[in-house]
Each structure stands twice: as structure tokens, then as C-alpha cells.
Chain A
Amino acid sequence: MAMQPLILMSDERCLEHATWGGHPETRERVAAVCARVRACPLGASLVEGRPSPAGWDALLPVHDEEYLLRFEEAALSGREWFDHRDNQLGEQSYQAALTAAGAGPAAIDLVEAGRAPLAFCAVRPPGHHAERARALGFCFLNNVVVAARHWRRAHARRRLLVLDFDAHHGNGIQHAFEADPDVLYVSLHEHPTFSFPGTGYAEETGTGPGEGATLNVPLLPGARDDAALAALEGQVDPAVRAFRPEAILVAAGFDGHLLDDMSGLAWSTGLYRRIGRAVAAWAGGLTGGRAVSILEGGYHIGALCDGVEQYLLGLVEGTAPHLAPPVTPGETTEFERSEGH
């Protein structure tokens, strides 16, 4: 059956960001995701792209110059970590991070050129914890914020929705846009009293002119699909429709999965298909179909690959309603059944 085309943005330079000693953020994650996307039913209709590394003109609106120089110096001088022991790095990590940060803009350019309305960037290191001048939580450059700035500057899309469904709150994205009334940042994550990074309380709703343009939905440890779906339907959907974005960026993290031990959330693979469909519905109704997703976390490789595949299937079938089979909450995949869940 013919599928809707989907842009897959990836680059082998992202695999050269070195981590070791049992670090969860491995090169195998992204290698496996790329292989799965190419092998799954979406593979036949992929539009593949390779990003250029982000230039300083794209990075300087997001990160301080001194920070970028410090990061480059740390990588090239053989330091083992940057700003925190969590953020391991090797000689190629700076180039890998520039490449990951260039993926969003490259995907956006293809979307705006009409190659396909949907794009997924399978890149690392992830980005949503990176602050303006601080690496945090495996993140060095904030890939989603770089992409958002590019979408506005290069294509004059003013009002953006940034949906973040990684299990951890995207502090870096929130801080970049919390005073901006034209970026609606929506995050579903494990409650900050328990989970890294300790931000994303429901009472954080934006600052100054951006008051009301941040929506945090903290979920308690053990939260399953029903809690996420209730939030999507009851809180997120009305907020997105009222905001009326012109384009959608998604910080797509898959560490909320039941099998991923980096969070306390207990989501099934089927939930990611539901999220994909929700994004597709907003894109279809509000943004002319435009939605670009960028990989964040997800550390159990099997669950990550399953989650990405189901999310992308949800996205694609959501924009082509005749292709959409019903999905019920808590639906399990072959993988989950084989794992005994």
C-alpha cells in the first residue's frame, strides 16, 4: 500500500559522538532507529536527507559564543565530559552536535520546498536539556530551539507549537521560549519532584508576555497510557487548537516506555502511535500538514525502535485517514508481547 512520503534526516557523523562505560546515550540508539525506519513499511516512501552542520549564524541566537567555544575546546582537547559527568564527549562530539543541530533546519527547508510535509530527524546527541550556556542531561546544543529559530527566520512561520513527549521535561526549550507568546511549548513528562531535570511543574506557565504559552503536564511515577491520553485530549488538544500554530516541532523522546529504565513512566508502544496521530491531526487542521520531529531520549533500543516506528506510522496515517486502522489505549505490539508485557 502506498504511504505518505516522510523525510528522514540522518547523518553518520552523529554516530561519532563517543560515550562509554555503560552510558545510556549510545551510537547504537540512532543506528538502530535509522535501520528500523528504513526497514519498516515507511521505508519505501522515505525522502532521505543529510544535514549540513549548523553554522554559527544558526547557533548564536540560541547559545552564547563563549559557551560554543568552550564546548569545541573541551571536545578537541580530549576532555572526557563537559559541564557535568553525564555529558561524556570525544573528539568528534562537537561536529556530531553541530550536525544534529543542523538536521532540523535542513528538514524544515525540505518541508517548505514541498518535498513532504512530515519529517523525522534521527540524530544525536539530543538537545532539549541544553541551556543557553550550559550542557545538561546528555545535551549540548538545543536542536529543537535551533530549528524553531530557523523556521521563523528563513520561512517566516511566526507561531510555532513545540510538543515535547520525552519522559524528562525540556528545560532548555522552555527557558528559550517561556517569555515568547508566539511559541506554545507543551511538555508531557514524569513529575519533576521525582524526575530529572526537576523542572516542568504545572504552575510554570510562561513569563511576561509569554504567560499562558507554556503548558506542562507532569505525570506521576507509574503513569500509564490512560494518563497521557487524558492529558492529550483534555489539556493539550484544546490548547493547541486555541493557539493555532503555523508549524509544529516535536521533541520526540521515547524514554517514557515501560521497558526504559531512565524514567518512572510506564507507557506502551501503542501510545506513541496515538501521539503521532494527534500531531498529524493538528498538522492537518492547522499547519498545512507541516510537522518536523527531532529525536531526543529513548535508551532501551528495542522499545526505542518500536516507539519511533509506531509514532511515525501514526503521523503518516493520521494525515491519510483512509489508511488508519483503529488503535486502542494500551495496545501492544509484537515486541511487547515477546517481552512479556
Chain B
Amino acid sequence: MYIAAAMSPDPFCLHPEMTLMQVRDLTAGKIIRHFPVTDAAGRLVGMVSDRDLRSALPSTALNPTVRVEQLERLGQVRVESIMSRPPIALPREATLDDALLLFDRHRIGALAVLDHDGLLVGILTVRDVLAAYRRLFGIGSPGSSQVEVCDDGRPHLLSRIVAALEGAGIVCTRLIRTEAGTGGAGLVYARLQTINLHGAHEALRAAGLAVVARKAGGAAP
């Protein structure tokens, strides 16, 4: 799945020469957590988070006279002096997995999405990625259940699982295979489009596969 389908297009942008006072006025009443900063040609030059902005604003705990003086100084402070650079960005052809790795490596909450010419086309947040994976896995959509099958070490495990299920007319929408770890066997988590757990278990067992018994607590953590 590509990030272009998950990003928010045409994000609210700042310009490097804007003052923080202007930004404060422009964003009053808006709930925006990440602002790409673009130059006059629309090229990405930096990123500002709402946390960067809050840190630059004077504390409300300050003496009122001191606070007013500091607020007035915001009229001279420009976006370019607080923005993060180089900004973290991905091309629109990048995948959700690319984005996930980047978020994890840089500990960031959003990244910019660029077209072939390096122009900003969107912004992708951690929330966007979570929502995209939720859609991809169908989490929360009615109609599916899960069975867990033990890795018996014999060849063609995934093929045998799918063949057994399809032979019983059961649609399998995803398989996730985990390797055997310390003290535990490898497992395959199969997402099925059926309520008929009895039928799914029967089909898998008839194919010689070992199904994890949920009544006994299943593959408990």
C-alpha cells in the first residue's frame, strides 16, 4: 500500500520568512500538529511541529509585563529559525512500510510527501499510518475471525493451510507467520471470513494441521 493513498493532501503550509506572530494569528482556532515549510516555488525546506511553536511562545507562568515583551519579540522571530531541517520526506511512491521504518528511526510524528519534482504534495502522520494499516487488516470491520495453526516443520505450511480452508469454501484474507522462539513453536495466524470456527478447525485438522486450542487459553502472551 502506497503512502499517497493514506496521506493528507494539500496540507496547511508555512513560509520560512513568516514571523511567529503571523503564524500564531494564522493558526488560531485550528488544530494542526505539523506544518511543512515551503519556499516560494513550493519546495519543502523544513518542518515545524505545534510543540516547536509552543516552545517558542512565552510561558503563561511569566510575569505579565515580561510576557508581553516576549510576545512582541515574536514579531521579529521567523519560522526558519525554529523549523527542523533537513525535513524528513518520502516520495509519493513510497510504501506504508517505508514510512513506518522512518517514523521509528527518527522518532517523528509526521513526514512530508513529495512528487517527482520535489514539490510538496501531502503530509503523512503516524495517525494516518495507523488508520491505513487498520483498513488494510480490516480491523474493526465485521465479518472475520482468527485461527492459529502450529508450524509442524513440514514443507509448504502456508499452502497447506490455504488449500484446506479453500477446500472447505472458507476465504482466508491474511496469514501472518511467526518464527519459533525460545520456548515456543512457530505459529501461523490466519484471518478468515467466516463465523464457522467449527468448520475451519475440522478442515485444518483433516489436512493434518495442528490448531491451537482457544478454550485452553490459546496462544496466550
Contacts and interface: CB of A to CB of B under 8 A. Distances in A.
A in complex with B: yes
Contact of A222 (B143, B196, B216): B216
Contact of A201 (B140, B195, B197, B217): B140
B42 interface: no
Contacts of A197: 142-145, 195
Interface string A72-95: 000000000000111000000000
A218 interface: no
A137 interface: yes
A99 interface: no
A340 B143 CA distance: 34
A129 B218 contact: no
Given A197-B142, A198-B144, A198-B145, A221 B214 contact: yes
B136 interface: no
Given A222-B215, A266-B215, A198 B139 contact: yes
Contact of A220 (B138, B146, B195, B217): B217
Interface in B19-43: none
State the main secondary structure of chain B at its contact with A.
Answer: loop
With most chain B CB atoms within 10 A of its CB, the pick from A22, A138, A190, A197 is A197
Given A220-B217, A222-B215, A264-B218, A138 B195 contact: yes
A222 B220 contact: yes
B67 to A, nearest CB: 38
B208 interface: no
Interface in A96-154: 129, 131, 136-138
Nearest to B199: A22
B215 A194 contact: no
Nearest to A193: B146
A196 B141 CA distance: 10
A207 interface: no
Contacts of B195: 86, 129, 136-138, 168, 196-197, 262
B142 A258 contact: no
A5 interface: no
Nearest to B141: A198
A201 B141 CA distance: 11
Interface in B132-188: 138-146, 169-170
Interface in B48-106: none
29 contacts: A23-B196, A24-B196, A24-B198, A85-B170, A86-B194, A86-B196, A131-B142, A138-B195, A190-B214, A192-B140, A194-B218, A196-B145, A196-B194, A197-B142, A198-B140, A199-B141, A199-B142, A201-B140, A220-B220, A221-B217, A222-B217, A258-B215, A261-B197, A262-B196, A263-B214, A264-B214, A266-B215, A266-B216, A299-B198
Interface of A: 22-24, 84-86, 129, 131, 136-138, 168, 171, 190, 192-199, 201, 204, 220-222, 258, 261-266, 299
Nearest 4 pairs of A and B residues by beta carbon: A264-B214, A222-B217, A196-B145, A221-B218
